Structure 1
Amino acid sequence: MRKRKNFKLEMNMEKEIGQDTVLILPDYDENGCLNSVIYHTDGMIKVESKPFDLIDTNLRFRGSSMRGAVEGSAAILGKLNKNPIIIDRDKGIILLPSKSALLDGCVWLSLQHIMECISIDGCTTKVNLSNGSSIILDGSKKSIQRRMEKAYELQFKMEAQKRFFESARTLPETTYHLVKQAGHVNYEHKAAE
């Protein structure tokens, strides 16, 4: 069994993935260490963290993890390669990977900032982004659009689940009076007085 390294949550504003995050690029420094460049609608910032770890930190800060996000996505969409993941459901932040998330060269795109995909040739695609920027990615237009469709499906199904559970909660309020008697291990429901 693989040993898990100790995780220390180191979150700050520069590492935040928010609604203004357009994409996350892998970026190697002069020593060959993999870091990230986060592109926002109003600029970019370099972060000393691998894209995978950066996303995992953001998810953990929100009470989840990369593993949980990938498993949740697979549970909703079925087991897929290159699953989209939800960073923040309430804010509509969904990221989709350009390739397997485990590969160091993976670029992460924010679904809400993808405007158009244009095929350059059979194996490269230009993706136009909401702030007027663009990126050329390896992969056919069809494969990138298929990942986008899966991300929209994930978003739709999550919203449908949310509406279902919210509508199920519209039951009349019930009052609980719970008491644990001395010497007993369970709480008992007592009638309201």
Structure 2
Amino acid sequence: MRKRKNFKLEMNIEKEIGQETVLILPDYDEHGCLNSVMYHTDGMIKIASKPFDLIDTNLRFRGSSMRGAVEGSAAILGKLNKNPIIIDRDKGVILLPSKSAILDGCVWLSLQHIMECISLDARTTKVNLSTGSSIILDASKKSFQRRMEKAYELQFKMEAQKRFFESGRVIPETTYHLVKQAGGMNYEHRAGE
């Protein structure tokens, strides 16, 4: 059995993935260690953490994990390779990977910042971003568009679930007064007191 590394949550404002996050790139330092570069709407920042770990830390800070996000996405969309994941449901932050999330070369793009994708050749796609920037990915336009469609489907289904549960809330017509008698095992229901 593989030993799990001790997880230590180290989160700060610089590492936060939010609505202003455009993409997260893998970046090797001069010692060959994998780190991340986060591009935001107002610039970029280097983070001494692998993209996978950076995203996992963000999810754990919000009470989830990378594993939970991937499993949640698969539960909604069906089993997929290269699942989009929800970082922040309330703010609509969804990231989609350029390739399998476990590969070190995976680039993570924020769905809300993708404007269009253009095929450069059979295996290369240019993605134009909301900031006027672009990135060239090693993926066909068709496969990248399929990932985008799955991310939009995930977004749509999450919004539909949210609306369904919110519309199901009703103001109670009956009030309850619950009392546990001294020495009793259960609470007793006394309506209308």
Same fold (TM over 0.5): yes
Alignment of 1:12-27 (within 5 A): 12-27=12-27
- Matched with 1:117 is 117
In the alignment, the residues of structure 2 paired with residue 63 and residue 176 of structure 1 have an alpha-carbon distance, to the nearest angstrom, of: 32
2:11–2:57 CA contact under 8 A, matched in 1: yes
Verify the 8 A CA contact 2:37 2:47 in the aligned structure 1.
yes
Mapping of residues 28-177 of structure 1, within 5 Å: 28-177=28-177
Change (3 A) 1:26 1:174: farther
Alignment-mate amino acid for residue 92 of structure 1: G
* Structure 2 contact 175–191 (Cα < 8 Å) conserved: no
- Change in 2 beyond 3 A, CA 1:103/1:186: farther
**Rounded Cα–Cα distance in structure 2 between residues aligned with 1:171 and 1:118:** 50
Secondary structure of 2:69 counterpart:
helix
Please give the alpha-carbon distance, in whole angstroms, between the structure 2 residues aligned to 1:19 and 1:26.
20
How do residues 178-189 of structure 1 correspond to structure 2 at under 5 angstroms? Answer: 178-189=178-189
CA root-mean-square deviation: 1.3
- The alignment of Structure 1 onto Structure 2 pairs a total of residues equal to 193
Instruction: Quote how far apart the aligned CAs of 1:7 are.
Output: 1.4
How far 1:183 moved relative to its partner?
Answer: 3.8
| Equivalent-residue separation in structure 2 for 1:173 and 1:25 (angstroms) | 53
| Aligned-partner SS, 1:119 | strand
Q: Deviations over 1:144-188 (max 9, x none)?
A: 000000000000000000000011112435433223334444433
Change (3 A) 1:5 1:189: farther
Instruction: Give 1:189 shift.
Output: 2.4
How far did 1:4 drift?
A: 1.8
Specify the alignment match of 2:5 in structure 1.
5
Aligned to 1:192: 192
**Identity, % of aligned positions:** 89
What CA distance in whole angstroms lies between the structure 2 residues aligned with 1:171 and 1:92? 28
Between 1:64-73 and 1:181-190, the stretch displaced more is: 181-190
> What is the Cα deviation at residue 3 of structure 1?
2.1
- Give 3-state SS (helix, strand or coil) of 2:81's partner: coil
Equivalent-residue separation in structure 2 for 1:39 and 1:118 (angstroms): 21
Shift of 1:62: 1.0
Q: TM-score, normalised by structure 2?
A: 0.95
CA distance in 1, matches of 2:123, 2:112: 24
Which 5+ residue runs of structure 2 have no aligned equivalent?
none
Name the aligned partner's letter for residue 50 of structure 2.
K
CA deviations on 1:126-151 (whole Å, 9 max, x unpaired) are: 00000000000001000000000000
